Amino acid sequence: MTDSESTSSSGADDAAPGTRLEASRVIAAPADRVFAVLCDPEGHVAIDSSGMLQSAEGSTVTASGDRFVVHMDRESLGDYDLGRYDVTVIITRFEPGEEIAWTIDGTIKPPIGHTYGYRLTRLGGGDESGDHTGERTEVVSYYDWSDAHPKWRDSGILPVLDASALKATLGILERAVRRGYVRG
């Protein structure tokens, strides 16, 4: 597993230095199984390492522009007392089995404008008969605030999470996929 500050990847080739975090992990599962968890609003809650995501409402994501609501509680970070609040997740990139990314809109105005996402790369395994045993997927979790509204980007509150939170979420994602994640 690696983590880094990066300035290039799909959708972020012009990211300013120091405005993007990434972490990666190889998961012993087919990309479609991993992607299914990432398309489920409750899947986001199930794999969240920060403790902020409490529950979600909405349908499984199928395209850019899809939205769902996440009920949040920032108390777990111990930084800002926002109480319980809701955000709307807005899907900004959707490439089935390959990439999903989103921004949020909530009570904070103007919207922050940061982006979270996952890129999946099939590493092979399995066989021609359709046996997925041995398939592996590299999953890159990224957090990019290069397009954040200047009010927030320059305020010192970003990044909200650090690379260790991205790494931890990837570990939880692997566990969820391995155990056969089922919508709660």
What is the rounded CA–CA span in Å between residue 24 and residue 59? 27
Which one, of 147, 57, 141, lies nearest residue 111 by Cα?
A: 147
Look up the pTM and report it: 0.85
Q: What is the pLDDT of residue 74?
A: 79
Q: What is the pLDDT of residue 12?
A: 44
Q: Angle, nearest 10°, between helix axes 31-39 and 163-178?
A: 110
Phi/psi of residue 182, each to 5°? -130, 135
- Checking DSSP bridges between strand 84-95 and strand 67-73, what pairing results, if any? antiparallel
**pLDDT for 112-138, tens place per residue?**
999 999 999 999 776 555 545 689 999
Cβ pair 120, 98 in contact under 8 A? yes
- Residue 9: pLDDT band (50, 70, 90) is very low
**pLDDT for 45-72, tens place per residue?**
999 999 899 999 999 999 999 999 999 9
Per the structure block, which two tokens stand in for 140? 């890159």
CA 75 to chain centre: 20
